[in-house]
Amino acid sequence: MTAPADLSVVDDADALARFDELVANEQRIEPRDWMPEAYRKTLIRQISQHAHSEIIGMQPEGNWITRAPSLKRKAILMAKVQDEAGHGLYLYSAAQTLGITRDTMMQQLIDGKAKYSSIFNYPTPTWADMGAIGWLVDGAAIVNQVPLCRCSYGPYGRAMVRVCKEESFHQRQGFEILLTLMQGTEEQREMAQDAVNRWYWPSLAMFGPPDDQSPNSAQSMTWKIKRFSNDDLRQRFVGMLVPQAEILGITLPDPDLRWNDETQSYDMGEIDWDEFFEVLKGNGPCNAERIERRRTAHEEGAWVREAAAEYARKQALCAEGQVA
């Protein structure tokens, strides 16, 4: 006689075969489908970290909205920061389809337990930082995220399609800020170059550690969550930047950067991975400030959440035919 435990193993084996077949055939895994627990956990981690990055990423630019140099610049920057809020919300919703609640994710973030992109822990002292962030940080985000539109998990891939369209606008507005500064006074050109000097290396680090030090990458590629390796994406990004830097008249701050005909790729200087891991651990220039700001915003927004919940409760009562 077969024990129930054995039956569940048989079920899982069938389900796993079905899952593998869907992935192999480039079909999407949807929330209703069975999926291996490790796949679910990997996606929860990746999508929630991505959502947190969008939300924390609003801060370095948000603090320039009131100081943008013209009404037009203010309107553009405000639209961009609002887009990032929208990205965060799509992504939290996508993560929720995997069985984690929004409250849990938010709590992990404000308790300092969740990771987010380490780039948002650097300060934004000048207006040129808005240009450098748009050009480099949103530029790196596009290179990272375009392949995610084909992610095997349906809700994540679909969210990425709209996110990527908006990221293209973000990158263009950053490029255009830098172009305007580079056509300005000597002081403005220096300000643009200085901002690029500060953001260039952290933007390269956004693709994650080199392939030989990225233990989870291979599994994510087998599952078709990730389509290209960290180093391949970094190469693609640098290949995009080089001609754009020429148009801007900006120098990319890497004396070792040059095209290598033999390898058909760019040789580049060493990224400071010690700094990257320090910032990731919470020791960057603005980590504490970013989390504190998010915690305060969350607490100050409590009345909005309560009011929305109460409104939803009354609407439900009305729908049932009871007067609230």
Q: Is 84 in the site for Fe ion (CB under 5 A)?
A: yes
Sequence letter at residue 101: T
Smallest distance, Å, CB 175 to Fe ion?
13
Q: Please give the size of the binding site for Fe ion, defined by CB under 5 A.
A: 6
> From the CB of 291, what's the least distance to Fe ion, in Å?
19
Q: Which two tokens stand for residue 258?
A: 């040059």
Structure tokens at 128: 């040129």
Choose the binding region for Fe ion from 160-168, 186-194, 231-239, 307-315 (rule: CB under 5 A): 160-168
| List of long-range contacts for 243-251, beta carbons under 8 Å, 24+ apart | 244/135, 244/175, 247/179, 248/175, 248/178, 248/179, 248/182, 248/192, 249/182, 249/189, 250/178, 250/182, 250/192, 250/193, 250/196, 251/193, 251/196
**At which residue do the structure tokens 């337990």 appear?**
113
Select the span of 50-58, 67-75, 235-243, 277-285 touching Fe ion (CB under 5 A): 50-58
Distance CA 70, CA 180 (A): 13
* Torsion angles phi and psi, residue 259, rounded to 5: -70, 135
Q: What values do phi and psi take at 258, rounded to 5?
A: -160, 155
In the window 12-41, what residues touch Fe ion (CB under 5 A)?
Answer: none
Q: Which of 52, 170, 236, 294 binds Fe ion (CB under 5 A)?
A: 170
Tell me how far, at minimum, the Cβ of 59 lies from Fe ion, in Å. Answer: 13
- Provide, rounded to whole angstroms, the least separation between the CB of residue 84 and Fe ion: 5
- Which CB sits closer to Fe ion, 19 or 120? 120
Cα 282 to the center of its chain, rounded Å: 18
Q: With contacts defined by CB under 5 A, name the span among 48-56, 197-205, 222-230, 302-310 that binds Fe ion.
A: 48-56
Phi, psi of 261 (to 5 degrees): -60, -35
The residue within the footprint of Fe ion, chosen from 52, 73, 87, 198 (CB under 5 A), is: 87
Q: Does 294 bind Fe ion (CB under 5 A)?
A: no
Choose the binding region for Fe ion from 37-45, 98-106, 163-171, 195-203 (rule: CB under 5 A): 163-171
Beta strands in 194-297 (DSSP E): 258-260, 265-267
Closest CB to Fe ion among 144 and 229? 144
To the nearest whole angstrom, how small is the minimum distance from the Cβ of residue 143 to Fe ion? 12
Cβ proximity to Fe ion, 29 vs 91, nearer residue: 91
| C-beta of 129 vs 167, nearer to Fe ion | 167
Give the range of 61-69, 125-133, 164-172, 213-221 binding Fe ion by CB under 5 A.
164-172
Give how far Cα 238 sits from Cα of 140, 153, 205, 231, 243, Å.
9, 28, 12, 11, 9
> In the complex with Fe ion, which residue's Cβ is closer, 87 or 198?
87
Q: Does 236 bind Fe ion (CB under 5 A)?
A: no
User: CB 101 → Fe ion: shortest distance, Å?
Assistant: 22
Helix (H, G, I), strand (E, B) or coil at 251: coil
Query: Which of 175, 318, 315, 162 minimizes the C-alpha distance to 248?
Result: 175
Q: Tell me the window of 23-31, 85-93, 107-115, 225-233 that interacts with Fe ion (CB under 5 A).
A: 85-93
Judged by CB under 5 A, the chain residues 106 through 145 that form the site for Fe ion are: 138
Of 136 and 286, CB closest to Fe ion: 136
Q: How far is 77 from 71, CA to CA, in rounded Å?
A: 10
User: What is the binding site for Fe ion (CB under 5 A)?
Assistant: 54, 84, 87, 138, 167, 170
